[in-house]
Structure 1
Amino acid sequence: MEEFFGSKKYKTANAKVSESCPSNIALIKYWGKYENQIPANPSISYTLSQCKTNTEIEFLADEKFSVQTFLSSTEEKKFAEKIEKYFKNIEAFLPWILKGKYIIRTENTFPHSSGIASSASGFGAIAKCLMEVDDLFCGKAEEDFKLKKASFLARLGSGSACRSLYNGLVVWGETKEVEASSDLFAVAFPSKDIHSIFKNFNDWVLLIHEGEKSVSSTVGHGLMTTNPYAERRFQEAHENFSTLKEILKVGDLKRFIQLVEHEALTLHAMMMMSEPAFILMKTGTLAVINKIWDFRKETDLPLFFTLDAGANVHLLFPRNKDEDKIKEFIIKELLQHTQNNGVVKDVMRF
Structure 2
Amino acid sequence: MTEKDFIPKEYSAVVEEGKVTWQSPSNIALVKYWGKKENQIPANPSISFTLDSCQTTTTLHFQKREKSDSFEFELFFEGERKESFRPKIQKFFERIEEYMPFLKDYSFKIETSNSFPHSSGIASSASGMSALALCLMSLEKKLDPTMPEEYFTRKASFLARLGSGSACRSIEGELVAWGEHNGILGSSDLYGVKYTHQVHENFKNYQDTILMVDKGEKQVSSTLGHDLMNGHPFAEKRFQQAHENLDLLKEVFETGDLSAFIKTVESEALTLHAMMMTSQPYFLLMKPNTLEIINKVFDFRERTGLHLCFTLDAGANVHLLYPEKEKKESLDFIQTELLQYCQNGQYITDKVGKGAKQLA
| TM band (smaller chain) | over 0.9
What SS is found at the alignment partner of 1:340? helix
How far the C-alpha of 1:247 sits from its partner, in A, is: 1.0
User: Which whole-Å CA distance do the structure 1 matches of 2:341 and 2:30 have between them?
Assistant: 23
What SS is found at the alignment partner of 2:47? strand
Listed as ranges, the matches of 1:103-182 within 5 Å are 103-182=109-188
Identity of aligned residues (%): 51
Listed as ranges, the matches of 1:12-161 within 5 Å are 12-62=15-65, 65-161=71-167
Is 1:7 the counterpart of 2:12? The answer is: no
Q: TM-score, normalising length from structure 1?
A: 0.97
How far the C-alpha of 1:80 sits from its partner, in A, is: 2.3
Is 1:348 the counterpart of 2:352? The answer is: yes
Is 1:235 the counterpart of 2:237? The answer is: no
57-66 or 289-298, which deviates more: 57-66
Higher RCO (C-alpha 8 Å, min separation 6): 2
4+ residue segments displaced more than 4 Å: none
What SS is found at the alignment partner of 1:263? helix
Q: TM-score, normalising length from structure 2?
A: 0.95
User: Which whole-Å CA distance do the structure 2 matches of 1:140 and 1:156 have between them?
Assistant: 25
State the partner residue of 2:271: 266
Q: Which ranges of structure 1 fall in alignment gaps of 5 or more residues?
A: none
How far the C-alpha of 1:175 sits from its partner, in A, is: 0.4
**For each residue in 1:60-119, what CA deviation from the matched residue of structure 2 results, as whole angstroms up to 9, or x when unmatched?**
112653110000001111212321221122111111011121100000001111111000
How far the C-alpha of 1:226 sits from its partner, in A, is: 2.0
User: Which whole-Å CA distance do the structure 1 matches of 2:50 and 2:157 have between them?
Assistant: 14
User: Which whole-Å CA distance do the structure 2 matches of 1:252 and 1:131 have between them?
Assistant: 39
User: Which whole-Å CA distance do the structure 2 matches of 1:344 and 1:30 have between them?
Assistant: 23
**For each residue in 1:96-152, what CA deviation from the matched residue of structure 2 results, as whole angstroms up to 9, or x when unmatched?**
011121100000001111111000000110011011000112224111110000000
What SS is found at the alignment partner of 1:270? helix
User: Which whole-Å CA distance do the structure 1 matches of 2:56 and 2:84 have between them?
Assistant: 18
User: Which whole-Å CA distance do the structure 2 matches of 1:3 and 1:12 have between them?
Assistant: 23
**For each residue in 1:210-234, what CA deviation from the matched residue of structure 2 results, as whole angstroms up to 9, or x when unmatched?**
1012101111000000210000000
Letter matched to residue 154 of structure 1: A
139-148 or 20-29, which deviates more: 139-148
Q: Which ranges of structure 2 fall in alignment gaps of 5 or more residues?
A: 355-360
Listed as ranges, the matches of 1:305-320 within 5 Å are 305-320=310-325
Letter matched to residue 124 of structure 1: S
User: Which whole-Å CA distance do the structure 2 matches of 1:85 and 1:169 have between them?
Assistant: 28
Aligned length: 348
State the partner residue of 2:358: none
Q: CA RMSD in A?
A: 1.1
